[in-house]
């Protein structure tokens, strides 16, 4: 009996070990089963379920195309319900199997540890003949491992240091600003009427003959999807312009060499504009404002007051609404850029409600950098930024002021009370004078060197023999040329405003005159370009017909002329331009 | 017959895949218009301040208990029981936060960011284990740390890691500490918390990458004792150094070592050091020259590390969210990537200028230059110091735990015949009473 008792006592650890081992096995098996269920549920959730969800997304997308039927809605609801039920079921399953897995793993670990404790082998110290030598070997091995670690770290560091720097913006900032300089802009046509808004091209190789009917001299012609009276702007090999209808506002980028439409940018119509139901005058249209670029980004504004910026690859960087403008004929002021800012002349209302603003928006974000309130009514002129005595001035025309502000902070520099009525022709800067037109009334020349109200002190001269209502003036340094809508050219001396000659072109014009290589370009609404020699006498050099009606002013590139017709954009010139900039 | 080891391997493989299932997405709300008014989302209330003090109190009590159990009672079972309690409380009940390991970053941020006020509980969590370690060795690691506890709990079949490998792997923890301090100082991220491998288990939720990493560590931990504690834990780096200075710490034998060798392989963490023997004369000569070379090499390594760290400033700066945003905005503006991300949309909605962002990011890059140089110098110093320490002759006459590496788990006690004697005497004393 005693033997039996001793035997039972000796067997106890063995039985306990076997029990623990069996428990570990069972728990481990359960854990594997639960884990397999868990994984299969995960695959079902992440792989199979999304297929049905995609179908739901497709069905919803189909609905957006038109009015859904009750049957379609019922199908979608049914599928949506099924997906939700399935998802809830799977979530519930995941939770339950997760907890079951946890319990079985814990049980496995407890049993496994117990089995290990119960069956742990006794310590068996190794017999090491030479402990000292072994310790020396261990230390040597450790040192080599550390050296290997050092070499690995050094290698990784060397690889990273010698590879391209990951922060591209740092490199870009260290190599230059994120906008083009004034000098770079002078070689482009970056805004309405080119550099300084003066309508003067620096290139001498501008074509003088073409014919839309035969295609002579026309390099390419491409359709513009949406209408607009804005002019093209040019930056290197890209042409930008925009168009709009009541529902859509778009920006287009064309390849200057082939006329291919590279991208179309969408500018959403703001809800406020949709509600306001803007109805601009037909001659103005919904996209009269010419775009502007700072060499990195391109900006567009529409009659709705929606303004947007795009990069040169067509990515919309930002868009915002400046509020629906109250403009009698429809908003038409073009944009200007200064450094990385876009300048917006936002004159509206009748001047009594304090609505008009002059904005400088950050080109990268659309944030308002500064704004100036102007107690002036709506106007249709475009701002220009010109450098005068080494200092940039932002010049705007409105009723009754010609104004100059600092483009850096918006601070007013000078103002002259010299205009009235519906002011539309934009200012130009030529021969040290700012030239401003009051439609049907006069041309005034202001010396832009004063401070404060310069009405009494800095008006150089006034020419009272009328002024265009739409077209901007152009000057060659000696003379200023005015073009009235009904075709009358008026040439005055820049020095004192004395009239030099008058010439009637007997045509209608909304495009402003331009000057290139000593030649004047007058583009009529019928698409006829009259080219005349600049100088004290009118001397016509020729006429070229496009064959399509034109409202927008032309843009001048290197050896090329870009004209926007009512439906098409034309490039006139040679395939490879080889001119030089003066 | 199915062998337990096969089950172990199958379980291990499936566990790695299975943890991904925890990262189940939430289904989007219905898009159909109904009368149901969706409740306004509100931020959850901050944790009650009281719990912070309770946590600090529990930490203090468990540290005292751990010290008594490890140094006085010397009872592995009780130590293990306390460890399980701490795992349950600090891990599963308190979700693994606050923990002293992550608190390193809070303390760093407090030093470098005057606008950041460190909660008292976090400070206590950081300091208390350090104080205890300074006096009693790594009792915190032995029985209180939930991260250590979860690894200790899964250790089933310990495998000895060769000393040479252990020396190399341990450097990772220094790197991790340096990176954690740098990123916290720069306000970039709490990298130690973000990549806490076990917090997902404590919370029964988490992103699948970290759950997989945690599962892998636990799988490794079944065979290699406490891999995170030994090779990764940044707080452990500080504890190692303080533990060297401790006056009272774990000893294998309660009295004198009788050189029986029985405890030689007792430690699953490779922390038991053997008595040393005199070196041959020739080895002394070589060692002396090597020591001189390494002493010269040390400042070179520090300098080279500093230079490399400075040169890596752009890579390091990429960790900062503001720098990453600037990079993203730049890439988007220059059409080097397609589409936008939530962060870039939010940035544009705020109306902040990208030039401002670039300027701020460039400034951060420059600060990372200084931080990177310090980090590099630190790494150089650690590597140089390690090489030096491996070249110095140690003198040991007994088997004893390495004061830095010993995790105070108490496993080695029962291997010592002297300990059995002590326990026997204790039992006899109890019987006599």
Q: Are residues B218 and B318 in the same domain?
A: no
A165 belongs to a structural domain = no
In chain A, whose CA is at the least distance from the CA of B311? A161
In chain B, whose CA is at the least distance from the CA of A137? B164
- Distance from the Cα of A533 to chain B's closest Cα (Å) equals 43
| pLDDT band at A581; cut points 50, 70, 90 | very low
Contact by Cβ (8 Å): A231, A554: yes
Q: Are residues B298 and B215 in the same domain?
A: no
Q: Are residues A203 and A106 in the same domain?
A: no
Number of domains in chain A: 2
Domain boundary among A118, A143, A171: A118
A23 belongs to a structural domain = yes
Considering only CB atoms, A167 lies closest to which of B260, B365, B379, namely B365
Q: What percent of chain A has pLDDT over 70?
A: 94
Question: Which is higher by pLDDT, A113 or A325?
Answer: A325
A580 belongs to a structural domain = no
Q: Do A170 and B314 touch (CB under 8 A)?
A: yes
Question: Which is higher by pLDDT, A343 or A35?
Answer: A343
Q: Are residues A211 and A359 in the same domain?
A: yes
Domain boundary among A81, A98, A118: A118
pLDDT in tens, A10-30: 567 788 888 888 998 999 899
pLDDT in tens, A196-223: 999 999 999 999 999 999 999 999 999 9
A129 belongs to a structural domain = no
Q: Which two tokens stand for residue A113?
A: 């540890």
CA-derived radius of gyration, chain B: 25
Q: Do B390 and A21 touch (CB under 8 A)?
A: no
- Structural domain of A103: 2-118
A411 belongs to a structural domain = yes
Q: Are residues A225 and A314 in the same domain?
A: yes
Q: What percent of chain B has pLDDT over 90?
A: 45
Number of domains in chain B: 2
Q: Does B37 touch chain A (CB under 8 A)?
A: no
Q: Tell me the three state secondary structure of residue B196.
A: coil
B104 belongs to a structural domain = yes
What is the spatial distance between Cα A524 and Cα A123, in angstroms, rounded to a whole number?
106
pLDDT in tens, B380-391: 999 999 999 988
What is the spatial distance between Cα A481 and Cα A430, in angstroms, rounded to a whole number?
12
Q: Are residues B355 and B297 in the same domain?
A: yes
Q: Are residues A78 and A187 in the same domain?
A: no
What is the spatial distance between Cα A439 and Cα A454, in angstroms, rounded to a whole number?
21
B329 belongs to a structural domain = yes
Q: Are residues B94 and B138 in the same domain?
A: yes
Res A65: pLDDT: 58
DSSP one-letter string for B322-388:
HHHHHHHHHHHHTTSS-S--HHHHHHHHHT--HHHHHHHHHHHHHHHHHHHHHHHHHHHHHHHHHHH
| Parallel/antiparallel/unpaired status of strands A238-244 and A249-255 | antiparallel
Q: Are residues A268 and A407 in the same domain?
A: yes
| pLDDT band at B8; cut points 50, 70, 90 | low
Domain boundary among A67, A97, A118: A118
pLDDT in tens, A245-297: 988 999 999 999 999 999 999 999 988 888 888 889 888 999 999 999 999 89
B188 belongs to a structural domain = yes
Contact by Cβ (8 Å): A245, A302: no
Q: Are residues A346 and A241 in the same domain?
A: yes
pLDDT in tens, A428-480: 999 999 999 999 999 999 999 999 999 999 999 999 988 999 999 999 999 99
The DSSP output letter for A146 is H
A155 belongs to a structural domain = no
Q: Does B387 touch chain A (CB under 8 A)?
A: yes
Q: Are residues B251 and B302 in the same domain?
A: no
Q: Provide, as residue numbers in chain A, all residues whose Cβ is less than 8 Å from the Cβ of B312.
A: 157, 160-161
Q: Are residues B384 and B401 in the same domain?
A: no
Terminal CA-CA length for chain A? 124
Mutate to test the interface with A, among B15, B161, B164 (most CBs of A within 10 A): B164
B372 belongs to a structural domain = yes
ipTM associated with this complex: 0.82
Q: Do B264 and A90 touch (CB under 8 A)?
A: no
Q: Provide, as residue numbers in chain B, all residues whose Cβ is less than 8 Å from the Cβ of A29.
A: 2, 7
Q: Do A153 and B379 touch (CB under 8 A)?
A: yes
- Distance from the Cα of B352 to chain A's closest Cα (Å) equals 6
Q: Are residues B218 and B100 in the same domain?
A: yes
Res A175: pLDDT: 59
A143 belongs to a structural domain = no
Q: Are residues B174 and B319 in the same domain?
A: no
Q: Are residues A90 and A190 in the same domain?
A: no
Q: Are residues B294 and B183 in the same domain?
A: no
| pLDDT band at B379; cut points 50, 70, 90 | very high
Mutate to test the interface with A, among B202, B214, B355 (most CBs of A within 10 A): B355
Mutate to test the interface with A, among B4, B5, B11, B21 (most CBs of A within 10 A): B21
Considering only CB atoms, B352 lies closest to which of A132, A141, A367, namely A367
Q: Are residues B222 and B363 in the same domain?
A: no
Q: Are residues A431 and A339 in the same domain?
A: yes
| pLDDT band at A194; cut points 50, 70, 90 | very high
- Structural domain of B164: 54-275+395-432
Q: Are residues B265 and B337 in the same domain?
A: no
B11 belongs to a structural domain = no
A156 belongs to a structural domain = no
- Distance from the Cα of B189 to chain A's closest Cα (Å) equals 19
Q: Are residues B402 and B317 in the same domain?
A: no
B136 belongs to a structural domain = yes
């Amino acid at each position: 009996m005693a033997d039996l008792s001793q035997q039972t006592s000796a067997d106890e650890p063995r039985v306990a070990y076997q029990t623990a081992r069996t428990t570990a096995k069972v728990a481990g098996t359960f854990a594997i089963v639960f884990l397999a269920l868990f994984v299969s549920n995960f695959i079902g959730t992440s792989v199979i379920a999304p297929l049905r969800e995609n179908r739901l997304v497709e069905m919803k997308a189909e609905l957006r195309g038109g009015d859904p039927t009750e049957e379609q809605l019922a199908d979608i609801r049914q599928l949506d319900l099924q997906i939700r039920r399935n998802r809830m079921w799977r979530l519930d399953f995941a939770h339950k199997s997760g907890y079951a897995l946890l319990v079985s793993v814990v049980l496995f670990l407890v049993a496994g540890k117990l089995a290990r404790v119960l069956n742990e082998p006794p310590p068996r110290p190794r017999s090491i003949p030479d402990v000292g030598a072994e310790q020396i070997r261990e230390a040597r091995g450790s040192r080599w491992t550390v050296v290997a670690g050092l070499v690995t770290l050094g290698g990784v560091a060397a690889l990273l240091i010698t590879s391209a720097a990951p922060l591209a913006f740092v490199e870009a900032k260290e190599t230059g600003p994120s906008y083009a300089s004034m000098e770079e802009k002078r070689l482009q046509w970056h805004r309405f009427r080119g550099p300084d808004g003066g309508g003067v091209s620096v290139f001498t190789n501008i074509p003088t003959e073409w014919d839309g009917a035969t295609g002579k001299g026309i390099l390419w012609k491409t359709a513009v999807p949406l209408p607009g009276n804005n002019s093209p702007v040019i930056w290197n090999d890209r042409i930008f312009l925009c168009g709009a209808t009541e529902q859509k506002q778009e920006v287009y980028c064309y390849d200057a060499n082939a006329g291919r439409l590279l991208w179309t940018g969408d500018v959403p119509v703001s809800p406020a504009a949709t509600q306001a139901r803007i109805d601009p005058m037909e001659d103005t249209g919904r996209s009269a404002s010419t775009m502007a670029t700072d060499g990195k980004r391109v900006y567009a504004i529409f009659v709705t007051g929606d303004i947007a910026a795009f990069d040169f690859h067509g990515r919309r960087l930002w868009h915002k609404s400046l509020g629906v403008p109250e403009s009698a004929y429809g908003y038409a002021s073009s944009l200007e850029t200064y450094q990385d800012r876009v300048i917006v002349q936002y004159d509206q209302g009748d001047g009594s409600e304090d609505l008009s603003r002059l904005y400088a928006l950050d080109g990268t974000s659309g944030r308002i950098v500064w704004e100036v309130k102007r107690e002036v009514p709506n106007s249709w002129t475009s701002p220009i930024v010109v450098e005068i005595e080494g200092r940039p001035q932002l010049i705007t025309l409105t009723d009754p002021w010609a104004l100059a502000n600092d483009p850096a902070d918006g601070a007013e520099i000078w103002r002259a009370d010299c205009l009235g009525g519906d002011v539309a022709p934009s200012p130009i800067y030529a021969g040290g004078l700012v030239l401003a037109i009051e439609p049907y009334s006069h041309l005034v020349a202001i010396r832009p060197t004063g401070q404060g109200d310069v009405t009494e002190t800095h008006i150089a001269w006034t020419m009272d023999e009328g002024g265009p209502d739409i077209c901007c003036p152009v000057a060659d340094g000696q003379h200023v040329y005015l073009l009235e809508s009904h075709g009358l050219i008026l040439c005055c001396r820049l020095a004192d405003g004395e009239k030099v000659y008058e010439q009637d072109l007997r045509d209608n014009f909304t495009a402003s005159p331009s000057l290139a290589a000593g030649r004047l370009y007058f583009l009529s609404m019928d698409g006829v370009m009259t080219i005349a020699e600049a100088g004290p006498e009118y001397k016509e050099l020729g006429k070229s017909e496009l064959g399509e009606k034109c409202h927008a002013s032309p843009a001048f590139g290197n050896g090329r002329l870009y004209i926007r017709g009512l439906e098409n954009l034309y490039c006139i010139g040679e395939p490879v331009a080889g001119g030089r900039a003066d | 017959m199915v062998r337990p080891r096969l089950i172990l391997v199958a379980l291990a493989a499936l566990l790695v895949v299975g943890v991904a299932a925890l990262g189940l997405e939430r289904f989007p709300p219905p898009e159909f218009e109904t009368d149901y008014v969706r409740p306004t989302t509100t931020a959850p209330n901050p944790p009650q301040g009281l719990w912070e003090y309770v946590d600090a109190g529990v930490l203090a009590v468990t540290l005292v208990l751990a010290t008594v159990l490890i140094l006085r009672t010397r009872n592995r079972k009780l130590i293990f029981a306390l460890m399980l309690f701490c795992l349950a409380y600090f891990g599963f009940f308190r979700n693994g936060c606050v923990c002293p390991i992550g608190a390193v970053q809070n303390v760093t941020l407090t030093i470098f960011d005057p606008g950041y006020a460190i909660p008292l509980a976090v400070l206590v969590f950081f300091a208390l284990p350090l104080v205890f370690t300074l006096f009693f060795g790594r009792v915190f690691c032995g029985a209180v740390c939930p991260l250590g506890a979860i690894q200790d709990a899964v250790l089933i079949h310990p495998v000895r890691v060769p000393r040479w490998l252990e020396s190399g792997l341990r450097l990772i923890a220094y790197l991790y500490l340096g990176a954690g301090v740098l990123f916290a100082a720069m306000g970039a991220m709490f990298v130690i918390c973000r990549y806490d491998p076990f917090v997902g288990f404590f919370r029964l939720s988490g992103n699948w990458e970290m759950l997989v990493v945690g599962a892998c560590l636990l799988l490794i931990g079944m065979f290699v004792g406490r891999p995170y504690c030994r090779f990764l834990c940044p707080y452990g780096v500080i504890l190692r150094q303080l533990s060297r200075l401790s006056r009272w710490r774990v000893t294998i034998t309660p009295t004198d070592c009788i050189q029986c060798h029985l405890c030689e392989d007792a430690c699953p963490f490779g922390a038991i050091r053997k008595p040393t023997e005199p070196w041959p004369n020739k080895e002394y000569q070589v060692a002396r020259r090597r020591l001189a070379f390494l002493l010269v090499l040390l400042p070179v390594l520090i300098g080279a590390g500093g230079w490399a760290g400075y040169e890596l400033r752009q890579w390091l700066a990429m960790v900062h969210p503001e720098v990453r945003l600037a990079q993203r905005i730049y890439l988007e503006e220059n059409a080097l990537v397609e589409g936008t991300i939530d962060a870039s949309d939010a940035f544009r909605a705020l109306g902040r200028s990208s030039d401002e962002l670039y300027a701020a990011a460039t400034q951060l890059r420059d600060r990372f230059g200084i931080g990177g140089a310090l980090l590099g110098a630190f790494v150089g110093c650690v590597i140089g110091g390690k090489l030096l320490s491996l070249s110095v002759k140690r003198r040991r006459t007994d088997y004893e735990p390495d004061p830095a590496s010993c995790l105070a788990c108490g496993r080695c006690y029962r291997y010592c015949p002297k300990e059995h004697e002590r326990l026997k005497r204790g039992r006899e004393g109890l019987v006599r009473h």
